[in-house]
Amino acid sequence: MKKILFAICLLASATVVAQNSGGIDAAMMESIRTGYKGSAAERAVKNALATTSISTLATNGDNLAMCDTHFSHQVKTKGITDQRSSGRCWLFTGLNVLRAKMITKHELKEFEFSQNYLSFYDLLEKSNLFLQGIIDTRNLPLDDRKVEWLLKSPIGDGGQFTGVSNLITKYGAVPKSAMPETYQSNNTRDMRMILSLKLREYALTLRSAKKAELQSLKTTMLTEIYGILVKCLGVPPTEFEWSRYNSKDELVSTKVYTPKSFYEEFVGEDLESNYVMIMNDPTREYGKVYEIDYDRHVYDGENWLYINLPIERVKEIAIASIKDNTAMYFSCDVGKFFDRKKGVLDIANLDYESLFDTTLPMDKRQRVSTFASGSSHAMTLIAVDIDNNGKTTKWMVENSWGPTSGYKGNVIMTDEWFNEYMFRLVAERKYVPADVLKMLDQKPVLLPAWDPMFAPEE
């Protein structure tokens, strides 16, 4: 009997050792401690980090000077917009592309579309998208991946270009004077919190309701959401008067418009068929078309669809558009190696490796694969600098963080940074080569909505 108990104890002891074999034991801890030498240079860095930010100490002293701001090719634009404390970069960027065209086409001194007008309908449509998604998945368990994804993020003010095209096609557009910004449109956090809380509450109601009641319940819910949006953002105009002045401040006309008639007269583009989204995602096969399931702003609108291309093909399209004075929707991982004061994105801005005496060798594919990088912010691509040998050296985007941010409201990026952290571009079809357009004939590869590479741009 004693032998049996002894064997059981040995087995239990072996099991504990096996379970703990992946932990940090005393011997490993001692090896770790003695492995750190704590040289004078390391102590100096430790002392500096105790009172100073990493980004300040990692600043590359050899790269402090402002880069050359000359660009060989630049789109003509006027004015810088400001999204304030909101996640609407995608909307500001899309409207800035159209604004530049409108100013040039109609010889306006200045102009800005109402972002608040489209924000209102964006949030209403996203509410419907969520509620209908709950209805469509009501027979799935709460821990189903799609249901869980819906409930984790019922609504937000981030997005991407298909939101611009679907919303304008459905609701038109208005000048900023017809529906100006409010405190809540500029500061969206609290409004998003209230909307998310209501939508989650509604989700539970819809999941337990009878099938015959669902659409009636959804209409009632959306009516309450509409009321919240009116209180926060104002009432979207269905008709308004607008006076057009030319570049010399001379009155050209005063007319009454609807949002759709205004858009048709002053822009008139078919946004849903005239633009192509291009992406540089080295984790997926190039030359293929991809569709993101459930990634849209309008339930009856378009899923996000893109062609994946090598970076040199992306540049080819961007250069063709800029040379023809046409700005583009552009998105990237803006937080990486950013000198905000100068408004310059350059991998030479920060030297983390010297500061921590380490290496950071991952390439773009590896960073995306391990969630170390991804597209986070949309801006308007307006300039490229090409040297005498035909090589691109730098690019410039118009940002939506106000005129005092960065370089006169713009951001300059080196070509090397562009290669590593640029992800998306939306260009007119006429600038996309025929062989690339032919790729759209493919059946798209469907990717899940929760793929982190396709988080909304803010």
From 432, 408, 247, 251, select the one nearest 341 (Cα to Cα).
408
Identify whether 297 is a catalytic site residue.
Answer: no
Residue 247 domain flag: yes
Helix (H), strand (E) counts: the chain: 18, 14
The whole-number pLDDT of residue 453 equals 81
pLDDT at 422 over 90: yes
pLDDT at 8 over 70: no
pLDDT at 17 over 50: no
Residue 222 domain flag: yes
Query: Percentage of the chain with pLDDT > 70?
Result: 96
From the list 128, 166, 399, 410, the catalytic residue is 399
Number of domains in the chain: 1
**455 — pLDDT class (breaks 50, 70, 90):** confident
Residue 98 domain flag: yes
251-294: pLDDT as tens digits: 999 999 999 999 999 999 999 999 999 999 999 999 999 999 98
Q: Which residues pair with 256 in a beta bridge?
A: 241
From the list 89, 280, 297, 332, the catalytic residue is 89
Contact 300, 273 (CB under 8 A): no
CATH number for the domain harbouring residue 186: 3.90.70.10
Residue 344 domain flag: yes
Q: Where are the alpha helices (DSSP H) in 78-144?
A: 89-105, 115-136
CA atoms within 13 A of residue 421's CA, in its CB half-sphere: 21
Residue 393 domain flag: yes
397: left (phi over 0), alpha (psi -120 to 50) or beta: beta
Residue 27 domain flag: no
Report residue 339 as tokens: 């000198």
Query: Percentage of the chain with pLDDT > 90?
Result: 92
Identify whether 389 is a catalytic site residue.
Answer: no
Residue 324 domain flag: yes
Q: How close are the terminal C-alpha atoms of the chain, in Å? A: 69
Measured distance CA(14)–CA(18) in Å, rounded: 6
CB within 8 Å of 327: residues ≥ 6 apart: 75, 77, 96, 97, 100, 101, 321, 380, 381, 382, 398
> Over the range 26-56, which residues count as b (16 or more CB within 10 Å of their CB) and which as e?
eeeeeeeeeeeeeeeeeeeeeeeeeeeeeee
Q: Which backbone phi and psi does 283 adopt, to 5 degrees? A: -85, -10
Report residue 422 as tokens: 């640029």
DSSP 8-state class, residue 62: G
Report residue 43 as tokens: 């102590």
What mean pLDDT comes out for the span 344-373? 97
pLDDT at 408 over 80: yes
314: left (phi over 0), alpha (psi -120 to 50) or beta: alpha
What angle do the packed helices 259-266 and 161-171 form, to 10 degrees?
110
Residue 62 domain flag: no
Measured distance CA(161)–CA(331) in Å, rounded: 10
pLDDT at 15 over 80: no
The whole-number pLDDT of residue 19 equals 52
Q: Tell me, rounded to whole angstroms, the distance of Cα 101 from its chain centroid.
A: 22
Measured distance CA(197)–CA(191) in Å, rounded: 10
Domain that holds residue 210: 73-454
Identify whether 399 is a catalytic site residue.
Answer: yes
Secondary structure of residue 176 in the 3-state scheme? helix
Contact 451, 292 (CB under 8 A): yes
From the list 116, 166, 349, 377, the catalytic residue is 377
pLDDT at 6 over 60: no
